[in-house]
C-alpha cells in the first residue's frame, strides 16, 4: 500500500504523521525520481509506504530539470559494459510495462559525419548489437530519405555526412 501526500510545511508534516490512523512501515520524504522509486519498490514488496512531497504533484521540480530521457545504456556499448547495457534495457522494459502513460519509445537518430572518430561500420555494429540486446529491430535511414519532410534531417546535408 502506498499513499502520496502533498505537504507544504513542516508543521503540516508532523500533524499528518501524528494524527493519521494508519501505521506506516516506511515514510519517504520527496517524490522526485529517487523518492518515487524507493516508495514504488517498497510498496511492491508489501510495505506500507507514505510518500510526502512539498509540491502539489510528484516530481514537479524533477521533471522541469531533466531531459526526461529513459535510455537503454547505448553509451556503455563502446566500453564493453554489456551487462550494464542489458540492465539498462531491463529497467527500460520495466518502465514501459509499468508506466506506459509516462514512458514512450522514440526513434533515435545518429548522424555519421566524415570527420567522425567512430567509423560507420563500428556504429552500425554497435546499433545491431544494441538492437539484439533490446529485442527490437534496427532500422537504418537511407541517405535518400534525409529530407525535412520525412525525417527532419535537411540540415545534415550542409555538414557533409557520409
The answer to whether residues 59 and 80 belong to one domain is: no
pTM beyond 0.95, yes or no: no
**108-135 exposure pattern, b = at least 16 Cβ within 10 A, e = fewer:** eeeeeeeeeeeeeeebeebbeebeebbe
The answer to whether residues 95 and 49 belong to one domain is: no
Q: How far apart are the first and last CA of the chain?
A: 54
The answer to whether residues 135 and 80 belong to one domain is: yes
Q: At which of 64, 93, 110 does a domain end?
A: 64
Which residues span the domain enclosing 39?
Answer: 2-64
Return per-residue pLDDT of the chain as tens, 162 residues: 666 666 555 555 556 666 566 788 888 888 877 888 888 889 889 998 888 877 766 656 655 555 556 777 888 888 899 999 998 888 888 888 888 877 788 777 777 777 778 888 888 888 889 889 988 887 777 766 665 545 455 545 555 555
Q: Does residue 150 belong to any structural domain of this protein?
A: yes
Question: How many domains does the structure of the chain reveal?
Answer: 2
Amino acid at each position: 500500500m502506498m499513499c502520496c501526500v502533498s505537504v507544504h510545511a513542516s508543521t503540516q508534516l508532523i500533524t499528518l504523521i501524528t494524527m493519521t490512523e494508519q501505521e506506516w512501515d516506511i515514510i519517504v520524504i520527496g517524490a522526485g525520481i529517487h523518492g518515487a522509486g524507493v516508495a514504488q519498490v517498497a510498496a511492491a514488496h508489501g510495505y506500507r509506504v507514505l510518500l510526502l512531497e512539498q509540491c502539489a504533484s510528484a516530481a514537479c521540480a524533477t521533471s522541469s530539470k531533466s531531459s526526461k530521457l529513459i535510455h537503454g545504456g547505448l553509451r556503455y556499448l563502446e566500453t564493453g559494459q554489456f551487462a550494464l547495457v542489458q540492465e539498462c534495457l531491463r529497467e527500460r522494459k520495466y518502465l514501459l510495462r509499468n508506466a506506459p502513460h509516462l514512458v514512450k519509445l522514440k526513434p533515435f537518430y545518429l548522424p555519421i559525419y566524415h570527420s567522425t572518430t567512430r567509423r560507420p561500420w563500428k556504429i552500425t555494429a554497435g546499433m545491431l548489437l544494441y538492437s539484439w540486446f533490446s529485442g527490437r529491430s534496427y532500422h537504418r535511414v537511407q541517405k535518400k530519405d534525409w529530407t525535412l519532410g520525412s525525417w527532419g534531417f535537411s540540415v545534415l546535408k550542409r555538414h557533409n555526412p557520409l
